[in-house]
Amino acid sequence: MRMTIPNILTILRLLAAPGIAIMFLYFTRPWADWFALVLFVLAAVTDWFDGYLARLWQQESRFGAMLDPIADKAMVVIALLVVTGFSGMNPWILLPATIILFREVFVSGLREYLGAAAGRLKVTRLAKWKTTAQMLALAVLFSQGLFEHFFVMQSYGMDEALLREIMAGREEDVFGLRWKAAGAAWAWWGGVVLLWGAAVLTLLTGLDYLRKSLPFLRDET
């Protein structure tokens, strides 16, 4: 195992995965949302850089090829757990999260069963889009918490009638509550749409992997 820069980036991404959940244990919101979002985005960026640099510098390795998908799955699974928990188990989040988690467990089980033969099943472009869609959806959903909590903090203790007037545009919006509420709504529904799209791609890649695995699963006659 060589400690090249691409491999170091992959290791850092793997270590960042539990850090996303830890942010919510040691920091209060919205700071936890900020830190988790920044950590998640930085880790997601390394997913592109480590592969690009490995190819550019001809530093591709078995260690990197093994660890890269593990780091990706760890990031997505832990971020899904955090988002699902803070959504209050909302079905719009829970259902696509269940599809994604089921597929990841199913494919990991297939890979383990196939052993050496699993190496013949190359990662497709659709699978790369799937990972990108998952990370983009989760980043947008993390940003929703920021808008929401700044709105709550700055409207805390405000008279309800005054808040309705501000939101209706009949009173001056000193704290920018309207755009914060709009940002939270757009981030929520945008994240939900992206997550469902990621779930569809995840399901399609899982079915494609199963189809390609069938020749290795047939009993010899």
Reported as a single tens digit per residue, the pLDDT across 2-37 is: 677 878 888 888 888 898 888 888 887 778 888 888
Higher-confidence position of 119 and 195: 195
Which of 55-59, 202-206, 209-213 shows the lowest mean pLDDT across its residues? 55-59
Which of 49-58, 169-178, 185-194 shows the lowest mean pLDDT across its residues? 49-58
Which of 91-100, 137-146, 185-194 shows the lowest mean pLDDT across its residues? 137-146
CA 190 to chain centre: 14
Q: Give the domain CATH number at 149.
A: 1.20.120
Q: What is the pLDDT of residue 192?
A: 94
Check pLDDT > 60 for residue 221.
no
Contacts of 41 (CB under 8 A, 6+ apart): 139
Check pLDDT > 90 for residue 200.
yes
Check pLDDT > 70 for residue 204.
yes
Tell me which DSSP letter residue 123 carries. Answer: P
Q: What is the pLDDT of residue 117?
A: 66
Cβ burial of 217 (10 Å; 0-12, 13-18, 19+) is exposed
What are residue 29's phi and psi, to 5 degrees?
-80, 145
What residue ranges in 26-71 does DSSP mark as E strands? none
Total number of domains in the chain: 1
pLDDT band at 95 (very low <50, low <70, confident <90, very high): very high
Q: What is the pLDDT of residue 114?
A: 76
Cβ burial of 137 (10 Å; 0-12, 13-18, 19+) is buried
Domain that holds residue 125: 5-217
Q: What is the pLDDT of residue 9?
A: 83
